[in-house]
Copies of this chain bind each other. A is one copy, B any other.
Amino acid sequence: MKINNSPLDILFKPKNIVIFKANQKISFFVEGFIRQGYDLEKLFLISTTEKEILGVRCYNVIEDIPEDEIDLLILSIRRDLLIESLKRILSKKKVRFVHIFTAGTGEFDDLGMDIERKLKVVLDNYKDTRAIGPNCMGLYSPRGKIAYYSSFPVERGNIGLIFQSGDLHSKMIKFSSKKYDLRFSIGISIGNCIDIQISEILEYLNEDIETDVICIYFEGISPLHINEGKKLFKVLKKMRKPVLFMRGGKTSRGQKAVLTHTGALATKSDIWQAIYKQTSIIEVPSSLEELIDYTYLFSRYISRFHKLNIEVTFPKNKKALVILWSGGFGILATDSLTELGIELPLFEGKALEKLKTIFPIRVGSLSNPFDIPWITHRKEVVDICKSAIDENIDLVIIETDTWRDMENERFKGYYKNLLELREYVESLNKIFIIILHQYPSKSLEMFHQKLMNDKFIVYSTIEAAAKAFLKLFEFGKKLERM
């Protein structure tokens, strides 16, 4: 495996791990490591109350463990014991990275803020020891076989995450892996940032060969690192990988909520507007669902180029061909796509006649949207679509619904058409998206699973697909200007 030759490599691939102190309440860490296949001989649990957790032996005190150097120390202890414990451990062992899991610090009250200040002083005395947190869930790094939840996928992917909320970080991984089969290179719930900053991790992910798209959930700057703002801006300016940036505390009411969450310093909206203008980063609305929707398209789109070993290019225009089963949906799609700023080139006159010579329809429409439910299984559909897709079309959207019977010839013809069309569209480096509306239904679930297995890009609404496409388009335009 290629590594980045950065000191942070060890954080994401630690040779050994100590949890201080382990107990049943945080057994999810152990479960996560087991699931990822981490070498349990190198996982050391320190506990005075437990003998073992999930089959992993507990040591009474840190002196008992055989290792002198600790790559990753997970510190989970009452906040009033944090400073003394850290000092004591650092005096006994060489520690490369500390993940301070404990919450209720700077985000909670003045006493907690004081604890953060003192922790920083301790860390400043140990230059070789770096820390993430406090108030964070920590690391997900399939390359290092570490994860704090057993529900996180073992397989590696091309998405990097830096989140100032452990729960959002967890839900991003859980929801998106289950919903869209997304996979990740590295994820970090980074918390209150008393030592390692977002900018450092971002630089790391920018160099990381496995990472194609980066998602950041940002709440603010630690009061202990007021220069981080400038550093972050500097790193963002040089980013050439897409960074999907979701900011918590965009509204002033939201800022008040941030104070009780990470205790981060407020940043102003106008500053962020300037940053969005001067960098290639993509602003994401305050919705985890939208972030996941966007990440899906970026991840899948870029990885296709990388697999073919060709340079990534982004859509030049915002022109779509829409193919569906329903006139009514066609009207709604036309209105909503038009309102979002996507064009639907109208096929009329000679262009329309040309399409009609391929298949003379008696009802429905070939004007774009195509409304041709009765012939979706016939091979002429592919010919009509191919004829309609010239260099102007950037996006082909097929809206569909479940099939009662996935064994009959109509379905087989239809599905063959989907595969053939996608191949054609993607051979032109254009985007092919299927819309499958979601509602509880066994046959829908089966059809959806089949589409997912065959790696189709499937969204549940045309708006979600269109918004994701527009972000990809925006990123391409931004890159051009950089």
CB within 8 Å of B: which residues of A? 103-104, 107-108, 163-169, 171, 174-175, 178-179, 217, 219, 246, 248-251, 253-254, 256-258, 260-262, 285-289, 325-336, 338-339, 343-344, 346, 362-363, 365, 367, 369, 371, 401, 437-441, 445, 461, 463
**Given A165-B331, A440-B445, 7 further pairs, Cβ under 8 A:** A103-B363, A164-B328, A254-B338, A257-B331, A257-B334, A260-B365, A261-B365
Residues of B within 8 A of A343 (CB): 253
Please measure, in the bound complex, the distance between the C-alpha atom of A168 and the C-alpha atom of B333, giving whole angstroms.
12
Residues of B within 8 A of A168 (CB): 326, 328-329, 332
- Copies assembled: 2
Please measure, in the bound complex, the distance between the C-alpha atom of A325 and the C-alpha atom of B338, giving whole angstroms.
38
B178 touches A217 (CB 8 A): no
Contacting residue for A346 out of B256, B333, B401, CB 8 A: B256
Give chain B nearest CB distance to A250 CB in angstroms.
Answer: 5
Please measure, in the bound complex, the distance between the C-alpha atom of A261 and the C-alpha atom of B463, giving whole angstroms.
21
A248 touches B167 (CB 8 A): no
Please measure, in the bound complex, the distance between the C-alpha atom of A287 and the C-alpha atom of B333, giving whole angstroms.
8
Please measure, in the bound complex, the distance between the C-alpha atom of A327 and the C-alpha atom of B264, giving whole angstroms.
13
- 9 A-B pairs closest in CB distance: A165-B328, A168-B328, A167-B326, A248-B331, A286-B335, A254-B335, A261-B327, A251-B338, A260-B365
Residues of B within 8 A of A287 (CB): 332, 336, 461, 463
Give chain B nearest CB distance to A306 CB in angstroms.
Answer: 26
A330 touches B285 (CB 8 A): no
A339 touches B438 (CB 8 A): no
Closest residue to A175 on the B side, CB-wise? B439
A338 touches B253 (CB 8 A): yes
Contacting residue for A288 out of B325, B329, B334, CB 8 A: B329
B335 touches A250 (CB 8 A): yes
